[in-house]
Amino acid sequence: MVDLSVRIKDLVFKNPVLTASGTCGFGEEIADFVDLAMLGGVVMKGTTLKPRQGNDYPRMAETPSGMLNAVGLQNKGVDNFIQNIYPNIKDIDSNFIVNVNGSTIEEYIELTERINELDKIPAIELNISCPNVKEGGMAFGVSCPSAEAVVKAVRRVYDKPLIVKLSPNVTNIAEIAKAVEGQGADSVSLVNTFLGMAVDANSRKPVLSTITGGLSGPAIKPIALRMVWQVYQAVQIPVIGMGGIMNATDAIEFMLAGASAVQVGTAIFIDPTIPTQIVEGIDSYMEKNKMHSMSDLIGGLQM
């Protein structure tokens, strides 16, 4: 039997495949198509302290081998999550993780304290990497001092596993990873989307209302893979990899490069069952290669 379980701090995931925040709502949205209990976890849509309307339309655009999005963290706020979402997902046999966002450190702290009160939310993903908001978000994730400040503040008020989501829009992502590890992060997830742009030649205008947006999908996979490998070399905490993972082979490549787990995002828009297909594919690969646990696979890149 192959043991697909992985651990972050004291939190056990039955397998290393999670959904990426912003690609399947709060999990309920794809529950008719996939058994969420088959996944290691569901990282839910970005949540803020107060409701956010998000950016003006158009805010999504298809690109070669990927997509741009500039949704801007549209959500109904933490009160709505606690009252209307949490009761529906709290008893599903998977790890439901809240993606926490703020414009100020004070907002991050208050939101984290609210989430910490929910017994069935075993971890948060602290998003310091969103490229589609005008303040906060990525601004905290692009320098070591600002990343350290927000992680240190949140760590003081949060005693469960803390995953920090990193921006790829930096010169040296390994330095940022080491900085947040030093302030108490239990894991880092990477990469978030790359800042990109689309232009309509006929109208001679930007396609997105925000002009720029976040690029995801297969187009970013080679860069994301490189960054995961670099961060794995630099930190002692588990790395969660993402960026263009479309199938089990992609996921296995990320884990060979050092990822303890992976998140699947853009692929879900094509087929919401892809994450469960990836679980099955990893299991088959490990059985074929006589691997018994994830430690046989993680960081197994032959140099």
Residues in the chain, total: 303
| E runs forming strands in 210-271 | 212-216, 239-241, 259-264
Q: Which residue ranges are tagged as binding site?
A: 21, 45-46, 69-73, 99, 127, 165, 191-193, 217, 243-244, 265-266
Instruction: State the virtual CA torsion across 243, 244, 250, 254 in degrees, nearest 10.
Output: -10
- Answer whether 298's CB lies under 8 Å from 292's CB: no
- Give yes or no: 130 in active site: yes
If you classify domain 6-54+73-193+215-296 with CATH, what class do you get? alpha beta
Strand partners, 3: 293
Which pTM value belongs to this model?
0.95
Summarised one tens digit per residue, pLDDT across range 134-188 is: 444 557 888 899 999 999 999 999 999 999 999 999 999 999 999 999 999 999 9
Q: What is the pLDDT of residue 130?
A: 60
Joined together, the tokens standing for residue 281 give 């594919």
pLDDT in tens, 49-87: 999 999 999 999 999 999 999 998 999 999 999 999 999
**Measured distance CA(252)–CA(269) in Å, rounded:** 21
Residue partners of 273: CB distance under 8 A and separation at least 6: 33, 34
DSSP state of 81: I
pLDDT score recorded for residue 149: 92
Judging by DSSP bridges, how do beta strands 194-197 and 212-216 pair with one another? antiparallel
Catalytic option among 20, 130, 179, 282: 130
- The binding site for FMN consists of 21, 45-46, 99, 127, 165, 191, 217, 243-244, 265-266
Q: What is the dihedral of CA 148, 149, 150, 151, to 10 degrees?
A: 40
Determine phi and psi for 207, rounding to 5 degrees. Answer: -70, -40
Check whether 9 has a pLDDT greater than 60. yes
> Could you report the per-residue pLDDT of 79-125, keeping only the tens digit for each?
999 999 999 999 999 999 999 999 889 999 999 999 999 999 999 99
Distance CA 131, CA 137 (A): 7
Binding-site residue ranges for substrate: 45, 69-73, 127, 192-193
**pLDDT value of residue 132:** 45
Question: Please, are residues 188 and 235 in contact by the beta-carbon 8 Å criterion?
Answer: yes
